[in-house]
Amino acid sequence: MELINIIISFVVGGGLVTLLTLPSIRSKAKADAMQSIQDVYQETIRDLREEKKRQKDELTAQINEFRAELEHYGREIESLKKIKCYDMTCLNRKKHQ
């Protein structure tokens, strides 16, 4: 008789329902854990893409600065070539002041 009381209290108390729903609870917990890991990976990928874009923009700006500086020095060299003769044996060579 006591065994029947234990079985009835187990069924009525929800123990049987817990045993039946335990696999679905486990699979849901695993799915939630995998989703949170995937969210972290997606956020990391997003951050890396933003950082890459920022670095690309910075490098593009530096390249443009260097091109402008190179153009300036190129024009300066051309103007200096008109003024001086770089041939050391030239009689028309202006002395450096």
Segments making up each domain of the chain, as ranges: 34-76
SS3 content of the chain, % helix, strand, coil (to 5): 80, 0, 20
Confidence at residue 94, expressed as pLDDT on a 0 to 100 scale: 61
Confidence at residue 97, expressed as pLDDT on a 0 to 100 scale: 47
pLDDT per residue rounded down to tens, the chain (97 residues): 666 666 666 666 665 566 666 677 788 889 899 999 999 999 999 999 999 999 999 999 999 999 999 999 999 888 777 766 666 677 666 655 4
Estimate to the nearest angstrom the gap between the alpha carbon of 52 and the chain centroid.
6
Confidence at residue 78, expressed as pLDDT on a 0 to 100 scale: 81
